[in-house]
Amino acid sequence: MDPPTGPSLGLYDYDLLVIGGGSGGLAVAKVSSLLILLCKLGGSSFNMDSIRKFLQQATLLGKAVQDSQKYGWRFRHEVKLVMSHGWSDLVQAVQEQLKSASLELMRELKSCGVFYLRARGEIVAPHTVEVNVNGRKRHLTAETLVVATGDRPQYLDIPGDREYCLTSEDLLSLPHPPARTLVVCGSAEGLECAGFLFSLGLQVTVMLLADLLQGFDLKMAEKIENYMFVGGVDFLHHCSLSKVQRHTQTHRDSNAMFLLKTQHHFRLCVLLAVGRKACTSDIGLECVRVQCSQDTGRIVVNERDQTSVDHIYAIGSVQHGRPSTTGLSVHAGKLLTLERTTVCDYTIVPTVVLTPLEYAACGLSEERANLTFGEDSIEVYHSYYWPLEWTLPARNKNSCYVKVICHIPDHRVVGLHVMGPNAGDILQGFVTAMKCGLTKHQLDATVGIHPGAAQSSFLHHQKAQKLEETLTGRGLEDPKTQQNQKTSL
């Protein structure tokens, strides 16, 4: 819907103007009729979160087809089940779904009475944003501005990376699946892409420049690596990429050659997942003196999401030092518009990594809990579990895992981590419980729903050390240890 062009009644054209139409910006827009500026409808949350979910579903369906024979399904005309994946069919279906979701969103914005412009916005004066509409510059004024411009994939700034490397956002623009893929860096998005490509039967190597899943619980990250490694994904530790160049004998854009510091050469598709850069550098923040962190380039905000300039707010992943999730952006956006009296709580934020075995976490990692409260004040409980539906096809015993981190003095649960099918959905209800101050005693007193993965995971945990002893006693060991033993034999 175009913004009205008639004379403005007040001092400004609008009460509120949002720059950026991702999850944060849209959440603000939907609860108040205002003007929103969009470079791309939906932002990374709208498009990437859906794409990630679709890719994970493609992976899970492949596994389910394999398992289905144990559940009695037979496929006609085939003596033996031969599976293959149609990359272009998936790409087409996902693109069509995104297009129809985008149309649906536009209809929703119209019905909420939101004015929006598809244009890049730049702040040129304290209350003025400049946009370029059909080649014509236009100035829009508003009493309050909200910056919700998100972030975009970062590059390494080495020769050839921008020309020849892909990012997770480019993966589905490939007309064919990449033959071999090197995923550079073990961030959540890197591991998700690696898991998806590997599940299609493609060769994948993950090159780690630093720790796997930085910021997440270290032991959980190790378990994810174990699971993927045993599945067949290669991991290269302590390596860095120094140069990428196109291989002369190939015509496929997805193929490139990368050169390791160790001088080994590989021909393959290079997918960079080395973090994200906030979209804050060219939107006029410096001209109105909005303060950004020198380290991260992200916007410094107070507990009310207000920047160093009173009438300019920032929400979503442009914020400095805050967790970045879609759920949080939406929540903060709604609070900002509905009731500026309630501040958004940036603690106890859940997140999910859609790796082949899903990982969901809420609250503190074990390392962060130790640093915050001291090791002696922390107790860790955990359990391995085997989802009932995995027992029939005899799938991966002892790979699903749960960790509960408690603060000893008040028995409060300060961290919950689960790795298993539908981990995010299992965790969601417990997030509310944590917000209400869930204690270990209350968790113990919770009646489980049987048969279900949530009860077998959260409600049968033991103290960490005890369980390790029990497992070793039963000869049940970490899968990677088993694999390593096999390899060394």
38: Cβ contacts below 8 Å, ≥ 6 apart: 20, 21, 25, 116, 117, 118, 119
Q: Whose Cβ is closer to ligand FAD: residue 43's or residue 363's?
A: 43
> Can residue 283 be called a binding residue for ligand FAD (CB under 6 A)?
yes
Residue 168 in contact with ligand FAD, rule: CB under 6 A: yes
**Is 450 among the catalytic positions?**
yes
Residue 220 makes contact with ligand FAD by CB under 6 A: no
Nearest-approach distance from CB 36 to ligand FAD, in angstroms: 9
Smallest distance from ligand FAD to CB 85, Å: 21
**CB closer to ligand FAD, 349 vs 438:** 349
Contact between 226 and ligand FAD by CB under 6 A: the answer reads: no
CA atoms 79, 83, 88, 89: torsion sign: positive
The catalytic residue among 238, 251, 265, 450 is 450
C-alpha torsion 65→66→72→73, nearest 10: 40
Token code pair at residue 373: 């409260």
Write down the H helix ranges in 112-243.
Answer: 161-164, 188-199, 218-231
- Interface region with ligand FAD, contact rule CB under 6 A, candidates 40-48, 246-254, 296-304, 404-412: 40-48
Query: Distances in Å between the alpha carbon of 128 and those of 113, 303, 339?
Result: 22, 25, 24
Binding mask 125-164 for ligand FAD (x = CB under 6 A): -----------------------xxx--------------
Looking at residue 262, what DSSP letter applies?
Answer: T
Class of residue 172 by CB neighbours under 10 A (exposed 0-12, middle 13-18, buried 19+): middle
Please give the C-alpha separations between residue 470 and each of 152, 186, 345, 351, in angstroms, as whole numbers: 46, 31, 39, 30
CB of 172 to ligand FAD, least distance (A): 12
Closer Cβ to ligand FAD, 41 or 241, answer by number:
41
Region binding ligand FAD by CB under 6 A among candidate stretches 46-54, 199-207, 300-308, 377-385: 46-54
Contact residue for ligand FAD among 22, 177, 178, 363 (CB under 6 A): 22
The letter for the amino acid at 444 is D
Spatial CA neighbour of 401 closest among 357, 350, 431 = 357
Interface residues for ligand FAD in 307-366 (CB under 6 A)?
316-317, 324-327, 329, 351-352
- Residue 111 backbone phi and psi in degrees, to 5: -70, -25
Contacting residues for 177 by C-beta, under 8 A, at least 6 apart: 85, 87, 197, 200, 202
Residue closer to ligand FAD by CB (options 26, 380) is 26
Catalytic residues: 450
**Which residues bind to ligand FAD, rule: CB under 6 A?**
19-25, 37-40, 43-45, 48-49, 52, 120-121, 148-150, 168, 188-189, 279, 283, 316-317, 324-327, 329, 351-352
